[in-house]
Structure formats: structure tokens, C-alpha cells
A and B are shown apart, each in its own frame.
Chain A
Amino acid sequence: MLAQISTKTDDQKPNIAVLIADLKALPESVWCDYLFNRDLLVARIGPEKRAELIAGAIKCGTDLAQETARSYGSIPASELVDQLPLQVKPEDSQTIQKQVFLATFTEPNEIKIYQEPINKLTALKLPGFDRAAITEIILAHELFHYFESQDDQFYSRTSQIELWHLGRYHHRSTVRATSEIAAMIFSWRLNDLSFSPLILDILMLYCYNPEAAHDCYQELLALARSGQGDPESDQ
């Protein structure tokens, strides 16, 4: 898998086609690590717990995708949303410097999809990334958070780490990356994609801040090269 990835140095900025080809070649484990490295609690989680949480999140997303397919049949996320008590609201944008917001799910049932980044990405006219395809990927991701909010036995809600304790009080917390990884996997499986839905992260960022997108791209390639994102390296 790694052999397929471009071996450019940091100084060489790829064109968008090469960037997409490289990103599509990245394995699931690299994207999981990419998400985990952004978690606010990453410094408090050791390698073993990290591997356990990632594996559990992958299983959680996969299981839900299979169950959803069984329950609702093979229908796109947009149709699934129509069958559920969800409100989908298009919003303009919520872009803050190096943070680009694609969508927000707020309990109990509100999904906001930010149009500005989608408009910018569709304007690039990239094959496979038209408005409908992008929307399906985003909706499926947010659908996971909806299903997650309905069931407190979801792995992403039950798996916790202990942050500190005082006497008998143990302060535990869920790890947000677990939920995000499971949502990514759910969208990946539900849409039957051959690449990670998180490619949208880099592409959207590219539309606003090519430098920052390039940094993320390099970070992903470095993860792939280092083997941190290689499933075998966790074993």
C-alpha cells in the first residue's frame, strides 16, 4: 500500500490530482491515527489503550453500517435521513482561520450542513466529488452521531479513560476521537467508498488554505511512512 503513495519531499507541493490519488491510497489505519492525533486527550492515552479504542471504534462503525443496511436496505444516507425524525438545515459557513466546519450534529435531531465549503469544493469539478456525493458522505457521518445519541450502549459512549482520581472519585471521560473514527467508518461503509470520507477534510481545507492542506497531507504521508497508521504496527 505504501509503495503507491507519492514520495514527494515537504517542499514539493503536489497538484490536486496527485494529492487525491495519494490520499485515496492511504489505508484506514492512517486515517484513524490522523483523527486520534487531533483528540484533546491524546497525550493521556497510551499506545495499548489507543489501539483498543481505535479497534473498538472501527468495529462500532462497521457494525452499525451493517445493521443499518439490514434494517433499511441499501439506500443512500439522504433517503435514510428522510425516514428518520431528523432536521437537516443548510447553513452558510462557520470557517475559522485553520478550522473549516463541514457539518454539525446537535442532539436530539439537528444536522447543519455548511454550504460554503461544499460550494468551493464542487467548483473545483473534481471527478467523484460532486455535490450529491459530498452530501451523502457528510450526511452518513452525521447519521452515525444521530444513532449514537439514541443508544447509550454505543461503544463510543461506553468506552472511557480515567483522567484522574481523588479518593474514591474517579474522573473518567469518553474520547471524542472514538466517536469520530466510528462515524468515519460508518460513512465509509454505508457509502461503500473505496477511499476514506476524511479526504473531504483535506480537500475542503485545500479550498481555503492550501498551505494548511499541504501540511495535513504531509502529516498523513508521514504517518503512512512511519507505520504508525499501519495496523500491523499496533500488534
Chain B
Amino acid sequence: MPLERPQTVINSGKPAGKISIRNLGKSFSLGETKVTALTNVNLEVDAGEFICIVGPSGCGKTTLLRILAELEAPTQGEVLISRDNPAVPLSSMIFQESSIFPWMTIRNNVAYGLKLRNVPQTEIDRTVDHFMKLAGLDGFADAYPHQLSGGMKQRASVARAFSNDPEILLMDEPFAALDEQNKALLQEELLRIWSETQKTVVFITHSIDEALVLSDRVLVMSGRPGTLKAEFKVDFPRPRRVYDLKADPTFGKLGRDIWMLLREEVTGQ
């Protein structure tokens, strides 16, 4: 388990938007064979934008996100991320599985980023209280994760990332394991928190509905080797409510258009 972080991603050259991905590629060797996970990915993300990336499983979505999170280095191309406030962390990632530390109370989990940065305790308390409340975790401060349901753990995971106050949030199918009701609730809560904080969000999902509900723009990825294939503007008015949106005929039509594209990738035709 390497602690060494790949030193790649951030470049001081000013990108056009918040994130600028240029000709990005990633390959790795699996035994004898060389696997290309990503190839020729180009993407501009504006500050404060909420984008969703959908793609068939195994297309390298997560790899792309891990590169943005500085957890992995690309083997080709570059990513430029502009830094607006050197005092706050650049990005925080919300992982697919439950990544909440089982050995910390919910409060300490949510406070994790702030504690690492030695933020004064009063400020930690204020921020943590605020985001625990927004994420619907009131009253669970001193509980341990094993006492909570999967949905609550994922709320804590969201609260942990938001209270770290990063410029960019990277979300890797954070709600994939949740049941429908919890998913809809958390999506709405995420949108509410996001509208309050105006962070840039890169959200990965395999659910077209989820992408349409949340984002300003949906990017469709091809199957392996993954590359961005198409982009759809999603301009439903905000604030959005999940089931109001799903009742909108344009929602269904847009969803079908994306599915037609994805279908080719999933079936390989």
C-alpha cells in the first residue's frame, strides 16, 4: 500500500475553466498484457459547474476520478486545475463504498479533514455541526459507523467531504449502493448543499436518471479504453426535485437519447 502520492496533476499554467483535461490517457500492465483504461480524454469544467460522467462499467470512470483526486498519475496528457483559494484543499473525494472510518465516531469522521489541517477546535465544531445538520446526521454525532445504516454512512461520507471545504468535489457513484428512497433523498440533499456552497462537482454514476437529476451537463464515456463520447446539456431549472423532474417529458426524452448512445457501448455494437 503505497503512501507515495503521484505527483502529476496540478499545473500552475492557468486553465481556461476550473478543470482542464487534455489528451489524458492511462494504461497499466496486468501481468503480461497492457491495459489501456483511458485514452484521449478532453474536458473543460467551469467553476461551480456540476457535471456527471456516465459510462458502462469498466470504462475507466473511476480511474479518471482517481487521477483528478491525485490518487493516481496519468500516463499521457495532463490535467490542469486552477486553484482559487490556497487556504482550502483543492479536492475531496466521496468514494463508492462506505469509506467512513469504523474506528471514529461520526463526528470525528466528519471532522477528519479539518483536524488534519489543525483548524481551531471552535471552527471545527461549527463547520461539523453545520454539515452534519445539512446531511441529516443530527443526533448521530457520537455513534460509530457500525451502528448506522448504509444510507447514514454515505451521508457522513458526504458531510466529511463538504466540511473539508474543498474547491472541487469528486464523487464516485456515492449513492450506488443505496435503496431508491434513500437515493432520491440524498440526491436532493446533495443538490441543496451544493447550491449553498457552489462547489465544482465531478460526479460519476452508471445511472442516467441520476446524472440528469443532478448535473448541468452529462458526459457519456465509451467502453474500454474509455474516452468521452458525447455531451448533453441538462438545463432543468434549479432547485430541482427528483420526482418532479422525472415527470417531465424532456427528462424521459433526454434519458432515452443518452441510453441509445450508452447501449452501443454496453453491447459493443
Is chain B a partner of chain A in the same complex? no
Residues of B at the A interface (CB closer than 8 Å) are none
